[in-house]
């Protein structure tokens, strides 16, 4: 810790640089807290998230219900935690899907090279001009609005940027001397992928993943907001925002609390991603 104050920029490790970025650190802490609270919601939330209590319906924030209750008398705080668990879960799983597809596609394209590579990247270009939001909506509606479909649909359209970045990085690595040395020594392609590509791509992958999660969560919330995603009695932040918007005249607290939490989470994810990028990927420009 103390050493970092005298060390020069080059000898600092990524973590030391990251720790100096106070916004990113605070965002990271906030995210950990939110994620923990949401993950533990079945045990810590004050009420079961679907428990109705019609006598206490549509009440503003009070001591017994910190964030108020909705029209069916369900506790907003409990629903917020449950909805957050769903939203974050979708965000992470769909990002994992996108990472998986993107890494394999990008590395393969760069490894094969030549015309095939051009063709593969052209496909990425073409697919990214398509109206993907429409396709996600269609896919989620058509194949039943169940969770695995939402993961696949959202993840399936989020891999494009990933594939492009990974391919560019891999191409650069492929031309580097240590990879050529490994090839000359007869290391297998899988070995090169495992021991040379993956470790060198790790920073980029981490940054990409952090910046993909908010996009994915946004997409899920968007679909749920239109009433085409997560279905009642389950809930997600997008769905809660929709329910709140429908009756904001009478019960504004139903709109405000999920909106604020959702926006803060996305903001933190963006700060964290920017911080990670500046710390671990100093070559990329800051903007």
Partner 1 sequence: MRYVFKRLIEMVPVMLIVVTATFFLAHAVPGGPFDKERPLPAEVKARLEEYYGLDRPIYVQWWNYVSRLAQGDLGPSLKYPGWTVNEVIGSRIPVSISLGLVALLLAILIGVPVGVLAAVRPNSWLDRVPMGFSLIGICVPSFVLGPLFALVFSLGLGWVPPCGWGSAIHFILPACTLGLITAAPLARLTRGSMMEVRSLDYIRTAYAKGVPPLRVWFVHALRNALLPVITYLGPAAAALVSGSFVVESLFDVPGLGRLFVSAIINRDVTLILGTTIIYAVALLVLNLLADLTNAALNPRIARAR
Residues near partner 1, by CB under 8 A: 126, 129-135, 137-139, 141-144, 214, 218, 221-222, 225-228, 238, 241-242, 244-245, 248-249, 252, 255, 259, 262-263, 266-267, 270, 285, 287
- Beta carbon of residue 184, minimum distance to partner 1 (angstroms, whole number): 35
CA distance 238 to 222: 6
CA distance 167 to 46: 48
Residue 249 — φ and ψ, nearest 5°?
A: -60, -45
Rank residues 107 and 217 by Cβ distance to partner 1 and give the closer one. 217
Helix axes 198-225, 132-142, angle to 10 degrees: 70
Rank residues 5 and 285 by Cβ distance to partner 1 and give the closer one. 285
- Beta carbon of residue 129, minimum distance to partner 1 (angstroms, whole number): 6
Helix axes 198-225, 237-246, angle to 10 degrees: 20
Among candidate residues 47, 137, 37, 44, the one with its CA nearest the CA of residue 87: 37
CA dihedral angle for residue 66, residue 69, residue 75, residue 76, rounded to 10 degrees: -70
CA distance 165 to 168: 5
Strand partners, 69: 75
Rank residues 4 and 270 by Cβ distance to partner 1 and give the closer one. 270
Query: How many residues are there in the chain?
Result: 287
Rank residues 31 and 201 by Cβ distance to partner 1 and give the closer one. 31
- Beta carbon of residue 180, minimum distance to partner 1 (angstroms, whole number): 30
- Do residues 162 and 169 lie in contact, with contact meaning Cβ atoms separated by under 8 Å? no
- Beta carbon of residue 73, minimum distance to partner 1 (angstroms, whole number): 22
- Beta carbon of residue 55, minimum distance to partner 1 (angstroms, whole number): 27
- Beta carbon of residue 18, minimum distance to partner 1 (angstroms, whole number): 19
Rank residues 73 and 227 by Cβ distance to partner 1 and give the closer one. 227
Rank residues 98 and 254 by Cβ distance to partner 1 and give the closer one. 254
- Which position has the token pair 């058509």? 142
């Amino acid at each position: 810790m103390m050493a970092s104050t005298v060390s020069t920029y080059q000898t600092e490790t990524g973590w030391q640089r990251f720790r100096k970025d106070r916004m990113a650190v605070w965002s990271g802490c906030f995210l950990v807290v939110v994620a923990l609270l949401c993950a533990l919601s079945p045990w810590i939330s004050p009420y079961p998230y679907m428990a109705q209590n019609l006598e206490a319906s549509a009440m503003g924030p009070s001591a017994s219900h910190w964030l108020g209750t909705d029209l069916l008398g369900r506790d907003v705080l409990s629903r917020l935690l449950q909805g957050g668990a769903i939203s974050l879960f979708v965000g992470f799983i769909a990002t994992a899907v996108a990472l998986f597809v993107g890494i394999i596609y990008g590395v393969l394209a760069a490894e094969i090279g030549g015309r095939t590579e051009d063709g593969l990247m052209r496909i990425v270009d073409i697919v990214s001009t398509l109206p993907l939001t429409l396709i996600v909506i269609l896919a989620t509606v058509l194949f039943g609005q169940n969770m695995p479909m939402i993961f696949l649909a959202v993840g399936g359209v989020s891999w494009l940027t990933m594939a492009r970045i990974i391919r560019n990085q891999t191409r650069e690595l492929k031309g580097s001397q240590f990879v050529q040395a490994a090839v000359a020594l007869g290391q297998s392609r899988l070995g090169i992928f495992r021991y040379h590509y993956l470790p060198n791509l790790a920073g980029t992958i981490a940054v990409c993943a952090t910046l993909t999660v908010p996009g994915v969560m946004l997409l899920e919330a968007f679909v749920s907001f239109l009433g085409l995603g997560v279905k009642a009695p389950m809930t997600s932040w997008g769905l809660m925002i929709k329910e709140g918007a429908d009756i904001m005249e009478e019960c504004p607290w139903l709109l405000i609390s999920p909106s604020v939490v959702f926006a803060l989470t996305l903001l933190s994810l963006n700060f964290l991603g920017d911080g990670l990028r500046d710390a671990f990927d100093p070559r990329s420009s800051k903007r």
